[in-house]
């Protein structure tokens, strides 16, 4: 077998003589050729002369799969699963060959095949799903939801008069045909979405107990996996969306952010689904505090860092159905996202002490035995399990989206996210990078979705309890009403874009005057000219940092704006930066567990 040095020499010669001409390669900023095509983790490994890495190689535009396979073989790599929709392949590759392979014009990007992990009794009543079932008659019937997780086990709460509500099961880990869940996380998540509460007399029913489930197993019995398996599952959804009527995907799995969402193969894969009209719901991650217990920002996980994904943080219903005492969970990841500094999460939903389905054959049944719960009917095992995390919050939103889709099948992913943010409820002093658009209001979201399906037949379901704002990119928009014909909802418009692909200014609906949106308020379009509020807060005047959230846009740029998030010596959370003019831009407040006092932070 040729040595690594021999293979590297062959690869270098192959690069010099094969593929597109040198003029087609993309320019490198600094360092050896190919360095900028490696993600942060692989840049460190590229200098090693030993070891191998499992990576995802994305092909350059115009490259063929056969040419890439030849290139990989010459580099001493072994090809694995093809990720067709993003034009990529999983590869085991010597670390010493990373730079040379990345430098070839057939290669667009090489990313580590990162590890992933699995990041109800009062929940439905708290968010209003119970009212949706009772008063509006929606339970998700006819809507397909894909659960990409650790699988699913047989459970009484997932069976109705027509049989099991699992329409399809595909195992990307072990290739088994019969449905199973050797971890238990996926079963718990599926129950939050679709459980009917049979073993609890209906008390622990899910958000949308009438949906059909497509279950795609990507986590093993220990709760681990790779992003390539998730991407393969996303490919499966895209190929089978029409046959299974899949309108929503739940990703209660997550991985770290090591490159821009523009190049990360996982986030790129989710974009293909969103452009096909499928809502991708992802957990924000559980990185809201550092190891010492201090609040930290910048912990959003992938794929939740992508603007087109509906990213969910966790709240606590505090053991009641009263929304007034709800809080944001301390573990819930705060924005902005790493590398791209995107405002996240998009919304928060109950994710603390969520009671859903247990799996007696899963690892969690043993490791979390103290959290198992009995039902109200005789069973051979404890049928419920209480768990916390943004992994539990995401399916609460995914189930809500299914209810919205039943009420209005024409909804697009952008429209769904806007409705959820617009109807969310704001509680306490939480900032937009902690609570996103606010606390999920399933009842309001479904009522507004229903109205937008037939606005001529009913009055606008307005409420003083709604946030009535959306965070479009890094700008906060107020003062308008969403309309069904707004161009922002098109599937080819990326969330946060200021123009449509054909150059039209993005608009969201009708502008209101003096918070009045009745027939006397006119029909001016609600567009970018009225987006005066921004997520990054104001440069404070004196000691007054109270709202509204208006002022300078705080962000980073290639021109060197500073971004720091962390804690002061006193333990207060600090998020700050500088404008192009050098002025200090200050954001946020200093908070104890229950109180928040306005404080000037100047980065010192």
- pLDDT band with cut points at 50, 70 and 90 for residue 439: very high
- Do 71 and 178 belong together in one domain? no
Residue 251 counted as domain residue: yes
- Do 165 and 215 belong together in one domain? yes
In contact, 276 and 238? CB cutoff 8 Å: yes
In contact, 356 and 362? CB cutoff 8 Å: no
pLDDT of residue 3: 53
Q: Which two tokens stand for residue 122?
A: 């009062």
- Do 567 and 439 belong together in one domain? no
Residue 464 counted as domain residue: no
Instruction: Mention every residue, 6+ apart, whose C-beta is less than 8 A from residue 591.
Output: 295, 429, 573, 597
Choose the final residue of a domain: 496, 530, 564.
530
pLDDT of residue 366: 94
Residue 568 counted as domain residue: yes
- pLDDT band with cut points at 50, 70 and 90 for residue 527: low
pLDDT tens-place string over residues 252-304: 998 999 999 999 999 999 999 999 999 999 999 988 888 888 888 889 999 99
Q: CA–CA separation, 41 vs 79, rounded Å?
A: 20
- pLDDT band with cut points at 50, 70 and 90 for residue 12: very low
Q: Is the pLDDT of residue 216 over 90?
A: yes
pLDDT of residue 161: 74
Averaged over 398-413, what is the pLDDT?
97
CA distances from 463 to 117, 324, 439, 445 (A): 39, 16, 15, 11
Averaged over 204-220, what is the pLDDT?
94
CA 252 from centroid of its chain's CA atoms: 9
pLDDT of residue 2: 52
In which domain, by residue range, is 62 found? Answer: 4-113
- Do 217 and 289 belong together in one domain? yes
If we measure between CA atoms, which residue out of 99, 97, 18, 13 comes closest to residue 63?
18
In contact, 523 and 509? CB cutoff 8 Å: no
Instruction: Mention every residue, 6+ apart, whose C-beta is less than 8 A from residue 175.
Output: none
CA 570 from centroid of its chain's CA atoms: 32
- Do 518 and 541 belong together in one domain? no
- pLDDT band with cut points at 50, 70 and 90 for residue 123: low
In contact, 85 and 281? CB cutoff 8 Å: no
- Do 42 and 60 belong together in one domain? yes
CA 383 from centroid of its chain's CA atoms: 29
- Do 540 and 526 belong together in one domain? no
Residue 199 counted as domain residue: yes
Q: CA–CA separation, 419 vs 220, rounded Å?
A: 35
Between 547 and 325, the higher pLDDT residue: 325
Alpha helices in 58-214 (DSSP H): 65-74, 98-102, 123-127, 129-131, 185-194
Residue 460 counted as domain residue: no
pLDDT tens-place string over residues 162-174: 778 899 999 999 9
If we measure between CA atoms, which residue out of 346, 337, 351 comes closest to residue 414?
346
Residue 260 counted as domain residue: yes
Q: CA–CA separation, 519 vs 354, rounded Å?
A: 43
**Residue 69, Cβ density class (10 Å: 0-12 exposed, 13-18 middle, ≥19 buried):** middle
- Do 107 and 231 belong together in one domain? no
CA distances from 133 to 197, 400, 403 (A): 13, 11, 9
Of the listed ranges 74-88, 151-165, 168-182, 552-566, the one predicted with least confidence: 552-566
CA count, 13 A, side-chain hemisphere, 597: 4
- Do 188 and 279 belong together in one domain? yes
Residue 60 counted as domain residue: yes
117: number of Cβ within 10 Å: 17
Query: 51: domain CATH number?
Result: 3.30.70.80
Query: 409: domain CATH number?
Result: 3.40.50.200
Of the listed ranges 249-263, 308-322, 581-595, the one predicted with least confidence: 581-595
Phi and psi for 288 in degrees, rounded to 5? -75, -15
pLDDT of residue 232: 97
Q: CA–CA separation, 452 vs 408, rounded Å?
A: 8
- Do 330 and 219 belong together in one domain? yes
- pLDDT band with cut points at 50, 70 and 90 for residue 85: very high
Q: Which two tokens stand for residue 179?
A: 């449905």
CA count, 13 A, side-chain hemisphere, 437: 29
Q: Is the pLDDT of residue 414 over 90?
A: yes
Of the listed ranges 121-125, 128-132, 418-422, the one predicted with least confidence: 121-125
Averaged over 432-441, what is the pLDDT?
91
CA distances from 502 to 366, 483, 490, 493 (A): 56, 20, 12, 10
Q: Quickly count helices (H) and strands (E) in the chain.
A: 14, 30
What is the set of active-site residues?
149, 185, 391
Helix, strand or coil, per DSSP, at residue 53: strand
Choose the final residue of a domain: 113, 147, 166.
113
Q: Is the pLDDT of residue 520 over 90?
A: no
pLDDT of residue 15: 41
Averaged over 494-513, what is the pLDDT?
87
- pLDDT band with cut points at 50, 70 and 90 for residue 569: very low
pLDDT of residue 323: 60
Q: CA–CA separation, 399 vs 190, rounded Å?
A: 10
Average confidence score pLDDT of the chain: 80
If we measure between CA atoms, which residue out of 163, 484, 475, 159 comes closest to residue 343?
475
- Do 389 and 497 belong together in one domain? no
Helix, strand, coil percent values for the chain (each to nearest 5) = 30, 25, 50
Residue 459 counted as domain residue: no
In contact, 527 and 566? CB cutoff 8 Å: no
User: 147 - beta bridge partners?
Assistant: 215, 250
Choose the final residue of a domain: 113, 143, 175.
113
- Do 161 and 68 belong together in one domain? no
Of the listed ranges 210-219, 294-303, 455-464, 551-560, the one predicted with least confidence: 551-560
64: number of Cβ within 10 Å: 10
- Structural Rg of the chain based on CA atoms: 24
The count of domains in the chain is 4
pLDDT tens-place string over residues 366-382: 999 999 999 998 899 99
If we measure between CA atoms, which residue out of 439, 238, 164, 444 comes closest to residue 325?
439
Q: In terms of C-beta distances under 8 Å and separation of at least 24 residues, what long-range contacts does 317-326 make, across chains too?
A: 317/122, 317/123, 317/126, 317/350, 317/352, 319/122, 319/353, 320/122, 320/126, 321/122, 321/125, 321/126, 323/126, 323/425, 323/427, 323/439, 324/427, 326/126, 326/350, 326/427, 326/439
Averaged over 458-476, what is the pLDDT?
85
């Amino acid at each position: 077998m040729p040595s690594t040095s021999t293979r590297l020499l062959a690869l270098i010669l192959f690069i010099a003589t094969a593929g597109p001409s040198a003029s087609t390669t993309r320019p490198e900023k600094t360092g050896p050729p190919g360095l900028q095509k490696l993600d942060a983790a692989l840049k460190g490994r590229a200098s090693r002369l030993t070891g191998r890495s499992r990576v995802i190689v994305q092909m350059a535009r115009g490259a063929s799969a056969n040419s890439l396979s030849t290139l990989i073989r010459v580099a001493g790599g072994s090809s694995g699963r093809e990720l067709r929709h993003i034009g990529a392949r999983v590869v085991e590759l010597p670390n010493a060959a990373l730079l040379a392979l990345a430098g070839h014009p057939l290669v667009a990007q090489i990313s580590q095949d990162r590890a992933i992990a699995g990041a109800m009794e009062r929940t439905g009543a708290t968010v209003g799903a119970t009212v949706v079932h009772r008063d509006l008659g929606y339970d998700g019937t006819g809507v397909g939801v894909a659960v990409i997780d650790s699988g699913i086990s047989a459970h009484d709460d997932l069976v109705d008069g027509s049989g099991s509500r699992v329409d399809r099961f595909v195992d990307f880990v072990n290739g088994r045909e019969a449905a199973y869940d050797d971890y238990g996380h996926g079963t718990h998540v599926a129950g939050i979405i679709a459980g009917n509460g049979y073993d609890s007399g209906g008390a622990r029913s899910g958000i949308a107990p009438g949906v059909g489930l497509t279950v795609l197993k990507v986590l093993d019995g220990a709760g681990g996996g790779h992003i390539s398996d998730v991407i393969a599952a996303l490919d499966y959804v895209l190929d089978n969306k029409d046959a299974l009527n899949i309108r929503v995907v739940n990703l209660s799995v997550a991985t770290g952010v090591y490159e821009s969402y523009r190049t990360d193969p996982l986030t790129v894969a989710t974009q293909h689904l969103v452009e096909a009209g499928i809502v991708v719901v992802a957990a924000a991650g559980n990185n809201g505090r550092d190891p010492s217990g201090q609040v930290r920002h910048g912990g959003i996980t992938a794929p939740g860092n992508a603007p087109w994904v509906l990213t969910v943080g966790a709240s606590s219903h505090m053991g009641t159905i009263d929304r007034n005492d709800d809080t944001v969970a301390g573990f819930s990841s705060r924005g902005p996202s790493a590398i791209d500094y995107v405002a996240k999460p998009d919304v928060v939903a109950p994710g603390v002490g969520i009671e859903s389905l247990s799996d007696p054959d899963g690892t969690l049944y043993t490791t979390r035995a103290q959290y198992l719960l009995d039902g109200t009917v005789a069973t051979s095992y404890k049928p419920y399990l209480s768990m916390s995390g943004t992994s539990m919050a995401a399916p609460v939103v995914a189930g809500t989206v299914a209810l919205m889709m039943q009420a209005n099948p024409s909804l697009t992913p952008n429209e769904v996210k806007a409705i959820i943010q617009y109807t969310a409820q704001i509680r306490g002093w939480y900032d937009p990078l902690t609570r996103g658009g606010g606390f999920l209001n399933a009842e309001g979201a479904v009522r507004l979705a229903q109205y937008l399906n037939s606005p001529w037949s009913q009055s606008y379901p307005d409420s003083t309890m709604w946030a009535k704002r959306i965070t479009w990119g890094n700008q906060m928009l107020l003062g308008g009403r969403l309309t069904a014909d707004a161009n922002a909802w098109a599937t080819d418009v990326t969330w946060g874009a200021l123009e449509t692909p054909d150059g039209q200014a993005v608009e969201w609906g009708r502008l209101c005057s003096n918070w009045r949106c009745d027939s006397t308020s006119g029909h001016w379009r609600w567009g970018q000219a009225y987006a005066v509020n921004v997520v990054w807060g104001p440069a404070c005047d004196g000691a007054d940092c109270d709202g509204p959230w208006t002022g300078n846009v705080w962000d980073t740029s290639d021109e060197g704006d500073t971004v720091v998030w962390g804690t002061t010596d006193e333990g207060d959370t600090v998020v700050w930066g500088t404008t192009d003019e050098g002025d200090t831009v200050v954001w946020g407040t200093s908070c104890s567990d229950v109180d928040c006092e306005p404080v000037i932070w100047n980065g010192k």
